[in-house]
Structures are given as C-alpha cells and as structure tokens.
Structure 1
Amino acid sequence: MSNISMVEANLPPGFRFHPRDEELVCDYLMKKVTRCDSLLLVEVDLNKCEPWEIPETASVGGKEWYFYSQRDRKYATGLRTNRATASGYWKATGKDRAILRKNTLVGMRKTLVFYQGRAPKGSKTDWVMHEFRIEGPLSPPQILTLKVYVY
C-alpha cells in the first residue's frame, strides 16, 4: 500500500485535499526542499511517464494529482527545462502567475498543456498541469517543483 493510500484510508468521509497556491509553495514545496520529508505527496519523473500514467502514482482523490518533480535540464550546461516524454511534450501557456503570502512573493505558478507528437506539430490534449516553484529573496536553487495535474 502506498503512502498516499495509507493517508487516505485514515481520513474522514468527505475529506478533500484542496490547498491554496501559497499553501502548496510554503507548506509543501518549501518544507520538501528544506527538510526532505512528505508522506502525502510522492516524487514523479515526468520525462519517464505519460500524463495518463500519473493518476495511479500520485492520486490524492478526485481529478487532481499532486506530486513533486525534479527539474530536468534540456542541456547539461543550459537553463532550459526539458519537458518532453516518449509520446509528447508539455508546453507552457499564458504567463507565470505570482503567488503571494502576506503581500510577499513566495512562488510562481506556470500552466502547461500536454501535446502528443513532436513540436511544433503536436496535437493538443485535455491534460493540464500547474507547476509551482519557489521564488523570492530566500528561495533555494530551483531543483524541485511541485506539480498539480488537472484532468
């Protein structure tokens, strides 16, 4: 039984995990980066799995899946992020949104859509992901992000 299944088994009926953006950054991602502990959320390698494989690994109920993911670089010495999978790629859409706690920038949220095939001729799918990263004066190096799939 996975950590998530054990946690869900002990929750009261009707419980729903629905944290706000600033809670995801400050109460989950920051704690994971600084203390490396989290029983509720798992770590998933996005480059080795397709969107439809995520629910069985990272489900916390409903049609949203929360998990941590290591940032993969497209080139060893570059800053570009690799978001390709075997059958497609994640494409950023819109602009990054600031996440504030007490009027202070604590993180950013990026929205990504999954396209099947290879860029630039991929076919858009219904898979959407929100990527959260820590920002601000005390932010650690960006090696880990928190992802939320919505389907």
Structure 2
Amino acid sequence: MMDESSSSSSPSSSHGVELPGFRFHPTEEELLDFYLRRMLAGNKLHGDIIGFLNIYKHHPTELPGLARINGEREWYFFVPRDRKHGRPNRTTENGFWKATGSDKKILTSSDPRKALGVKKTLVFYEGRAPRGRKTDWVMNEYRMPDACTLPQEIVLCKVYRKATSLKVLEQRAAMEEEMMAYISPTPSSEYSMSFSDFEDVKFSGGGQGWSCTTALNMDWNQDTLWPLDTTFMPLC
C-alpha cells in the first residue's frame, strides 16, 4: 500500500541532514528510463526522491508542499491512473486538467528510433468542464509505451507553473485598474455643486410644463453668475 502522507518529507530529512545547493532537475529520458521504469519493475529507488500522490484530490497550489523535493519551479509525483467509464479521470474538486496538443514520444539519445515512453501535456482549469477558467498551472504526464510489458497503472507527473511575461502582467494590472474605476467611480475634483449654490429660484407655468429661472453662483476661478432657464415636465 502506498503511503501518501510521507510524500511531503524531503529525502534528506529522515537522516537529519540537509544538502545545501541540492537541485533535482532530471531529463525526460531519466524520468522514464530510470525513475518510472524502475518503480514499475518493483525496484525500490534509493532515497525515495519522488513520492506517490493522487494529485487529483488536491488543488495545484497545494502540490508544492506535498512533494518529496520542495523544488522552486517544478514538482514530481508518481500518480495512479484513475479511470472513469474506461477513460482517464483528471477531474478535481475545484477544476480539471485538460490535455493540450497531441502526445509526444520520448526517444532515447543513443537510438532515435527507440521510444522510451510518451509525454502528455495538460493545463489546469478552475470550474467545471467543458467550461472553466484557464490557469498557469501545467503538468507533464509521462507513461511507458503501450507496447511495454510493465504495469501501466502508474504514471510520473511533473507539475510546474508557467512563467508569465511582463507584458501579460502589465495588461492584467491595467484591466484591474479599469474595472476598479468602473465599479467605484470617484467624483470629479474640478467641479462640485450642491443645492445651496442656487439663489432666487422661481417656478412658474401651467399645464404644458413648469419653468424654473434661477441664478447659479459657482466658484470657477472667480464668482460668476450663470443664468439657467430649465423647463420641467409635470410628473402627472
């Protein structure tokens, strides 16, 4: 039975020794041919650098804290292949992982004709399928080739957050400022008026309408009298 609760510990914590400067950045060939293949074959990996976790029970923001290696930009997990009605089920409580593009064969560096495995790229969407809000969380799912005789119920997943360009960040900030200005407009500081600015208000009229004649004192660089003739339509 795989223990997911132990996946949050670092590989050196069990020995009480930290390794300054240690970085875990394997190539795709190493992920497939060394880590995933050995794990599927039942060969225990020294150090247990990659832990087991059903990532579909978690929001992507929780995953960095659940990885064995708390990387700065990418995190790795052995993930059970959950299926629903014969198809892979990648739905979470808060959203879903959506495949983008076609699967890519990973070839060996020594023999370009030999496929080590397959990589599928997925993007996390918040909300419910088919609609949802696209996020910048990305996952590369690595699996053995279909012709491989090893068990296929486990895949190796690399989760990372896509870098956002400065231009996109500036566009987001501008849009947020426009939205705030639309929702909470601020009154103009150049001119404001209250009913106390009206003097000598006189109403006259009959059935065709009402006429209002007044003098408005407004402080606009200097006191000026502004005549205002306005006709008000009767309410009933």
Please report the TM-score for the alignment, with normalisation by the length of structure 2.
Answer: 0.58
Aligned residue for 1:95, secondary structure, equals coil
138-147 vs 115-124, which deviates more?
138-147
Match of 1:58 in 2: 67
Residues 105 and 115 of structure 2 are in contact (CA less than 8 Å); yes or no, is this contact kept in structure 1? yes
Which of 1 and 2 has higher RCO (CA within 8 Å, sep 6+)?
Answer: 1
Q: Is structure 2 residue 118 aligned with structure 1 residue 111?
A: no
The letter of the residue matching 1:127 is W
Match of 2:156 in 1: 146
Residues 91 and 112 of structure 1 are in contact (CA less than 8 Å); yes or no, is this contact kept in structure 2? yes
Measured at CA, do residues 135 and 68 of structure 1 come closer, stay the same or move farther in structure 2, by a change above 3 Å?
A: same
* Residues matched between the structures, number: 147
Q: Is structure 2 residue 42 aligned with structure 1 residue 35?
A: yes
Residues 22 and 99 of structure 1 are in contact (CA less than 8 Å); yes or no, is this contact kept in structure 2? yes
Partners of 2:17 and 2:142 lie apart in 1 by: 27
Partners of 2:98 and 2:41 lie apart in 1 by: 29
| Structure 1 vs Structure 2 CA RMSD | 2.0
Partners of 1:53 and 1:98 lie apart in 2 by: 29
Q: 2:97 aligns with which of 78, 90, 103?
A: 90
Match of 1:47 in 2: 56
Q: Is structure 2 residue 131 aligned with structure 1 residue 121?
A: yes
Residues 96 and 124 of structure 2 are in contact (CA less than 8 Å); yes or no, is this contact kept in structure 1? yes
Q: 1:20 aligns with which of 11, 19, 27?
A: 27
Question: How far has the Cα of 1:120 moved from its partner?
Answer: 1.2
Question: How far has the Cα of 1:14 moved from its partner?
Answer: 2.5
Structure 2, unmatched stretches of 5+, are 1-7, 162-236
